[in-house]
Amino acid sequence: MPITEILARNARDFGDEVALVEINPELHQTAQWTEFQLVETARSPRYRTQMTWKEFDDKANRVAQLLTRHGIRKGDKVAILLMNCLEWLPLYFGILRTGALAVPMNYRYTGEEIRYCADLAEVDILLFGPEFIDRVDSVKDKMPRVRELLFVGPDCPSYALSYDDEVGLFPAEDPQIPLTDDDEAAIYFSSGTTGFPKAILHKHRALMHSCRVEQNHHGQTRDDVFLCIPPLYHTGAKMHWFGSLLAGSRAVLLRGVKPEWILRTVSEEHCTIVWLLVPWAQDILDAIDRGDVKLEDYELSQWRLMHIGAQPVPPSLIRRWKNIFPHHDYDTNYGLSESIGPGCVHLGVENIHKVGAIGIPGYGWEAYIADPNGDPVTPGEVGELCVKGDGVMVCYYRDPRATEEVLKNGWLFTGDMARQDEDGFIWLVDRKKDVIITGGENLYPVQIEDFLRAHDAIKDVAVIGLPDERLGEIAAAIIEVKPDRTLTEEEVKQFCMDMPRYKRPRKIIFAEVPRNPTGKIEKPKLRSIYCGESLVESQIKR
């Protein structure tokens, strides 16, 4: 059953109830957080906006009607290039209702990356917002396949058509395009942390599978309120929200990641489930430790679950979290865009004693760890994590060679190195392409990063390999120190004395650790800075 039918059900059964709320703290001046402000679009300069399930469904239908009037047919591709806003999800569902494929784009893309991805995915219409006017303008004449540019917002540029002016002219009626689980639904792009973005093709079956996985793992009910902070173009944020969609419960889109904004939104919107990235959780704990935020200022008793995904989670972070929030359930979710986002492996709230592991195969998923020949390794040995289930992608769109490298007999070879303990729990070791080989020994940067993050002066750390004539590569630690702390190279080296000698980083660099919007460390960028390579050379070598 396509997820568009779930939206229609929610509109029938809970039509007058709030489905989505957008909070934009930067627009907050004198308005109260709980002030009711209902507007037709999310781009009106209001601090708090909301949308009921009926309005959500109606808007999706109007979007579908508009797109079909502009010639969109089943199998076409419509790209979304927007910051998180109240309009984002109705646009997504409207595209799906035409039978076209939704193509979310990273809001950090440069003009050339927009052009590249639009060409790769064979985009027919591009929907874009005010933040992207200059970037789209710079490449609009280099995208011959894109037959229409629809601008979502006020003051439409001359080279585009105004979505705002047009969408209200169409009826809020479902276009009744037949959809099945086997129809193609969406193209997502890989994060680019291990190479240039690839276009990942998914069917409607995969989207529905992610709904069931998320609700099974986190037990969303209609009483829950999900706080969504990560970008909606990424599978992680949207697929976690799919649990709320299936339950018919409210979600809050927060445009900002400051600790006080997160805690105040949880308090005022009565959020019960919050998905964080590692840096945001770290920032909240540090703000509490510094006294910048005081927990007694907020109503947080209803907050029942904090979960993290998108990257390895330092066990020391979760121990700190549980000390401050002992009543919270905690879960971590592992996934890739190729496996429709989070949940193909998950820890499970009942397995807090295994913090540090990514967990066991998720609901409806299988997993095993493979040697270089694709055969299962002996328990405890390191190999490549492989997963199988209804959420596995169809292919890398228009890239059969890359598809053949990772899809084998229905199994997705993830490129992540892992091991399985005696209890069946999977522990992530590192990205296959990030392994450092020094003097014939394999070093797994994640293990070194986890060790260093336990230092109370370290905010973030990334470990990469630097060329070395004698050893081939050496481990270099790029360390971001907490704003209120100092740290010397000698202190870091002394702290590392508890590590095996061969694992100790040979070079210490104090600098900011770059992360993309989904929280992943941008190691190709670090290699380009510190190895003297271009990003292209970095990818070819790895």
Is the pLDDT assigned to residue 485 strictly greater than 80?
Answer: yes
CATH number of the domain at 46-208, out of 3.40.50.620, 3.40.50.12780, 2.40.420.20, 3.30.1360.70?
3.40.50.12780
CATH hierarchy code of domain 435-541: 3.30.300.30
pLDDT in tens, 219-237: 999 999 999 998 899 888 8
Cα 447 from Cα 428, distance rounded (Å)? 9
CATH 3.30.300.30 range(s) for the chain read 435-541
pLDDT in tens, 361-383: 999 999 999 999 999 999 999 89
Query: Model's pTM, two decimal places?
Result: 0.82
- The mean of the pLDDT values for the chain is 89
Task: With residue 308 as reference, give the H or E element that holds it.
Answer: strand 305-309
Burial class (CB in 10 A: 0-12, 13-18, 19+), 165: exposed
CATH 3.40.50.12780 range(s) for the chain read 46-208
The stretches of 418-483 forming alpha helices (DSSP H) are 445-453
User: Per mean pLDDT, which range of 72-81, 329-338, 339-348, 441-450 is the poorest?
Assistant: 441-450
Token couple for 72? 């969109």
pLDDT at 470: 64
Q: List residues bridging with 276 in a β-sheet.
A: 308
pLDDT in tens, 249-299: 999 999 999 999 999 999 999 999 999 988 789 889 999 999 999 999 999
Token couple for 23? 């909070």
Q: Judge contact between 452 and 477, C-beta under 8 A.
A: yes
If one counts every other C-beta atom within 10 angstroms of the C-beta of residue 155, the result is: 9
Token couple for 367? 């997993």
Q: Output the CA torsion sign for 228, 230, 232, 235.
A: negative
pLDDT in tens, 27-79: 654 334 333 333 333 344 468 999 999 999 999 999 999 999 999 999 999 99
Across the chain, which distance is largest between two alpha carbons, in Å?
A: 70
pLDDT at 533: 47
User: Per mean pLDDT, which range of 336-345, 374-383, 512-521 is the poorest?
Assistant: 512-521
The stretches of 220-276 forming alpha helices (DSSP H) are 235-247, 259-269
Cα 269 from Cα 49, distance rounded (Å)? 12
Residue 86, SS3 per DSSP? coil
If one counts every other C-beta atom within 10 angstroms of the C-beta of residue 235, the result is: 29
User: What's 375's DSSP letter?
Assistant: P
